[in-house]
Amino acid sequence: MPKHGKRYREQLAKVDREKFYSPKAGLQLVKDIAEAKFDETVEVSIRLGVDTRRADQNVRGSISLPHGTGKSIRVAVFAEGEKAREAEEAGADIVGSDDLVAQVQKGELNFDAAIATPNMMGKVGRLGRILGPRGLMPNPKLGTVTMDVAKMVQELKAGRVEYRADRYGICHVPLGKTSFPVEKLAENYGTLFTELLRVKPSSAKGRYVKSVVVSSTMGPGVRLDPAHTRDFLAD
């Protein structure tokens, strides 16, 4: 088990590890104990009762958070002609076709998200070994293989995030920055939680949301009560 420094231990002492906090109380605590000299990211880890080894229980998608994540996203678009122009006008950072494919093949990955028009996927598909492991491969299920490139560029820039249950059934998703008002963090969290309930696999049995933990980049985890989340969403 890794050793933590004095600052982390002091932060941990302020967290009741036996308690399940309401969404706003837990997120406020994460903000209060964040002490790094930079604006830390607030992340939520939601463990779901799914078996991701089963194809019908893979939970994956993307969603636009109402207040974004506070992170500046560099977007690359694989497109030609009119669609390339639309992407540029929408604010894409890098737009290209064969030239962009060649850049990626050289290891030049100067972007955080990628979009492709359907007709480009024959070329982009050859980049799977490079883009796939980095989570950058355009995917129809995530809306990043589309003819409406302008809309997707704008959504990614505004704070569209991907959620994906890992092999342990946990979705790790950024909710914003510690500088965000707690109300905005809570609204982002509520939007994500509602989305995960919406995409619950019909074959998932037993309790679906098993645990929820929020934390900042350098801080300890704070447990939230899923039941309180449902009450919070109902308000």
pLDDT of residue 197: 94
Q: Where are the alpha helices (DSSP H) in 72-215?
A: 81-90, 98-105, 121-124, 128-131, 149-158, 182-198
Q: Measure the CA–CA gap between 129 and 120, rounded to whole angstroms.
A: 17
| pLDDT tens figures, 31-76 | 999 888 899 999 999 999 999 999 999 999 989 999 999 988 999 9
Residues 6+ apart with CB under 8 A from 7: 35, 218
Residue 92: pLDDT above 60?
A: yes
Domain extents in the chain? 16-69+160-234, 75-158
Lowest mean pLDDT among 7-11, 107-111, 181-185, 186-190: 7-11
Domains 16-69+160-234 and 75-158 share a fold: no
pLDDT of residue 231: 58
Q: Where are the alpha helices (DSSP H) in 145-216?
A: 149-158, 182-198
Residue 171: pLDDT above 50?
A: yes
Instruction: Answer whether 226's CB lies under 8 Å from 212's CB.
Output: yes
Instruction: Answer whether 211's CB lies under 8 Å from 7's CB.
Output: no
Interhelix angle 226-234/23-33, nearest 10 degrees: 110
Residues 6+ apart with CB under 8 A from 75: 91, 92, 93, 94, 111, 112, 113, 114, 115, 153, 156, 157
Class of domain 75-158: alpha beta
Among residues 69, 54, 19, the alpha carbon closest in space to that of 169 is found at 54
Instruction: Answer whether 117's CB lies under 8 Å from 79's CB.
Output: yes
Mode of pairing for the β-strands spanning 209-216 and 41-48: antiparallel
Look at the block and give the residue holding tokens 């060649």. 102
Q: 214 is written with which tokens? A: 């929020």
Of 60 and 12, the one with more pLDDT: 60
pLDDT of residue 1: 40
110: number of CA atoms within 13 Å, CB side?
Answer: 10
| pLDDT tens figures, 174-233 | 999 999 999 999 999 999 999 999 999 999 988 999 999 999 998 899 999 988 766 566
Domain 16-69+160-234 carries which CATH code? 3.30.190.20
Q: Measure the CA–CA gap between 77 and 92, rounded to whole angstroms.
A: 7
Average pLDDT of the segment spanning 106-114: 93
Residues 6+ apart with CB under 8 A from 193: 46, 209, 212, 229, 233
